[in-house]
Copies of this chain bind each other. A is one copy, B any other.
Amino acid sequence: LHEIVRRRKKNLGFSGHSTTHDFQILAAGGVIDRCDIAYVVGLEMRGLSPNGRRLMESGQVRTAEWSNAGLAWRYKAAAMGVPFLPVRTMLGSDTMRYSSAQLIECPFTGATLLAVPALYPDVAIIHVHQCDLYGNAQIDGISIVDQDLARAARRVIVTTERLVSSEQIRSQPGRTSIPFWLVDAVCLTPFGSYPGEMPYEYTSDERHFGEWLEAEKDPETFERFLDRYIYGVKSFEEYLELIGGWARLAELQQQEPLKRSL
């Protein structure tokens, strides 16, 4: 994502759930001009993103509203190979009115249902625990919407904490979430979820999240912050060096509460 901002791409579409930090990064670069959103400028207990809010309040980004489930079911429709799914959420609300969903009637019960249209992202970038060279990927812990997203997207890029052999994948086929025939590229990206957490691997860096939110409060400070952490570095590895390098990352590994017993 940092590389996308460094290249100063413009006019990308964006759809996401509570992928708020992703939105923070992309919004920072002014990359986005339209999005399907469910929950974007909030970071739960960490607070709201001031820059993300400024962007949306300015009218520079065209948005459509969705609930988390509405958006997830849109990916699922695409993953199932059907043009829509009937659901019982969003009904009666303005969230529905400002979405592109349609009311339909159930042909069996006559009930009013909401039809949410399949959403096929052009590119999905999914970070996993391990995959092989062909892209057969295994995720530990909760998967949120990654499985459906991989099946819905036209192109899939898998970034992975580590590479393993195909034989290791084939020895535990029950753990595979994304098979190679869905994957277009594989990137070995240790700590790729940083500053977020990766269950069973490392916890999130709340100190760094705090710096982002603090810096965003003032546009000029934020400009200097971006220069330092994004435009000023050549790679994700250099960024990781800046935030404290292996010493800091080792701390985050030790603080991770989920222990592996798989």
Copies of this protein, total = 2
Chain B residues with Cβ under 8 A from A172's Cβ? 261-262
Which A residues, 99 to 145, have Cβ-Cβ distances below 8 Å to chain B?
A: 102, 104, 106-109, 111, 113, 115, 117, 140-141
* A85 interface residue (CB < 8 Å to B): yes
Question: Of the candidates B83, B86, B111, B174, which one forms a contact with A111 in the assembled complex, judged by CB atoms under 8 Å apart?
Answer: B83
Question: Of the candidates B108, B174, B262, which one forms a contact with A115 in the assembled complex, judged by CB atoms under 8 Å apart?
Answer: B108
Q: How far is the CA of A102 from the CA of B107 in the complex (A)?
A: 7
B88 touches A86 (CB 8 A): no
A83 touches B102 (CB 8 A): no
The chain B residue with its CB closest to the CB of A175 is B174
| Interface residues contributed by chain A, number (CB under 8 Å) | 26
* A81 interface residue (CB < 8 Å to B): yes
B83 touches A84 (CB 8 A): no
Q: How far is the CA of A108 from the CA of B256 in the complex (A)?
A: 45
A85 touches B83 (CB 8 A): no
B102 touches A84 (CB 8 A): no
Chain B residues with Cβ under 8 A from A12's Cβ? none
* A82 interface residue (CB < 8 Å to B): yes
Supply 19 A–B pairs (Cβ within 8 Å), ascending by A: A82-B86, A83-B106, A83-B108, A83-B109, A83-B111, A83-B113, A84-B86, A84-B106, A84-B107, A84-B108, A85-B85, A85-B86, A102-B107, A107-B115, A108-B115, A140-B174, A141-B174, A171-B261, A172-B262
